[in-house]
Amino acid sequence: MRIGFIGLGGMGRPMAGHLLAAGHQLTVWSRRPEAGAELVELGARRAATAQELAAASDIVCTNVTASADVLGLADALLAGLARDAIHVDFSTIAPGVARDLATRYAARQIHFVDAPVSGGTAGARAASLAIMWGGAPALAARLDPLFACLGKTVVRIGEAGAGQVAKICNQLIMVAAIQASAEAAHLAQAAGVDFARVRTALLGGSAGSRVLDFFGGKMVSGDFTPGVEARLHHKDFVMALAAATQMAAPLPVGGVVMQQLEALMAAGWGSEDSSRLLSVLARSTGKNP
């Protein structure tokens, strides 16, 4: 397939690389030319503009930061995409924005698919992402070969915007579990018990989880190098709580976790890992974070 890719960051670059390695004709565009240099060396074509990329693609993939970034690309992509082309957005954006874009694209007989992913940079590199997508079911035949290059779990959730609802649910569970792991570590430390041993025991029981394994491991080692920067989880929670407010759906645990994320951001740790939530608890008790 002729595929365009915009958003060549920590996740987007390996995702685009998998598509190129699978034999697809890849065109890339980025505001910083160096972001796509490695892919160009491997055989990708570099477009001068987002519109030029769209004109050269049957499917355009984007993986950018937020709703505003996707909206900022829409005009250029719509100007270049041909009828029946598909824009697949792997970003995490507001469900309402995804629905509005789908309506706008449909008026031009172009398809918009929201396909947020979970798995972080490690999942992107290993092509083991979980992909949750929203869009017309008839698009599955065209999208499945593309998704197969990128992920291990692919689920169509529903119509446009449904993928983003699923991603919000994912973030609520995951970050709440990071906070719970931080509280367990904090409690163990307060009791004078080695959290490394506690974590090892818990991983073999009903509290065991990927979050406790990965993020709990970072808490044990004190390595807060980000897999995904905490500021992105903060952004997702802002979006989740705004959507919940619109739908009158109470999220009591989500609200408490949001407060902790706000404290993390205020402490200047937004560019570090979300396992820094442990440091937020330490700081609240006057201890060295």
* CATH class of the structural domain 166-284: mainly alpha
Mark 36-45 as b/e (b = at least 16 C-beta within 10 Å): beebeeeebb
Measured distance CA(243)–CA(98) in Å, rounded: 13
Q: Residue range 136-142: average pLDDT?
A: 97
Tell me which H or E stretch contains 28.
strand 25-29
pLDDT recorded at residue 288: 67
* pLDDT tens digits for range 182-229: 999 999 999 999 999 999 999 999 999 999 999 999 999 999 999 889
Using the predicted structure, report yes or no on whether residue 289 has a pLDDT greater than 90. no
| 152 flagged as catalytic | no
Helix segments in the chain, DSSP class H? 12-21, 37-41, 50-55, 67-80, 95-106, 120-126, 140-148, 162-190, 195-203, 210-221, 230-246, 252-266, 277-284
- Locate the domains of the chain by residue range: 2-159, 166-284
- Listed in sequence order, the residues at least 6 apart from 288 whose beta carbon sits closer than 8 Å to its beta carbon are 282
Mean pLDDT of 31-45: 92
Asked if residues 151 and 116 have their Cβ atoms less than 8 Å apart, the reply is no
CA distance 93 to 249: 19
Determine which of 26-35, 160-169, 175-184, 201-210 has the lowest per-residue pLDDT on average: 26-35
Q: Which CATH superfamily is domain 2-159 in?
A: NAD(P)-binding Rossmann-like Domain (3.40.50.720)
Give tens-digit pLDDT for 39-61.
999 999 999 999 999 999 999 99
- Alpha-carbon distance of 126 to 114, in angstroms, equals 21
Q: Which residues pair with 153 in a beta bridge?
A: 130
Question: What local confidence, expressed as pLDDT, does residue 194 receive?
Answer: 97
Nearest to 64 by CA among 78, 74, 54, 55: 74
Contacts (Cβ under 8 Å, ≥6 apart) of 99? 160, 161
Catalytic pick among 152, 167, 218, 235: 167
User: pLDDT tens for residues 58-105?
Assistant: 999 999 989 999 999 999 999 999 999 999 999 999 999 999 999 999
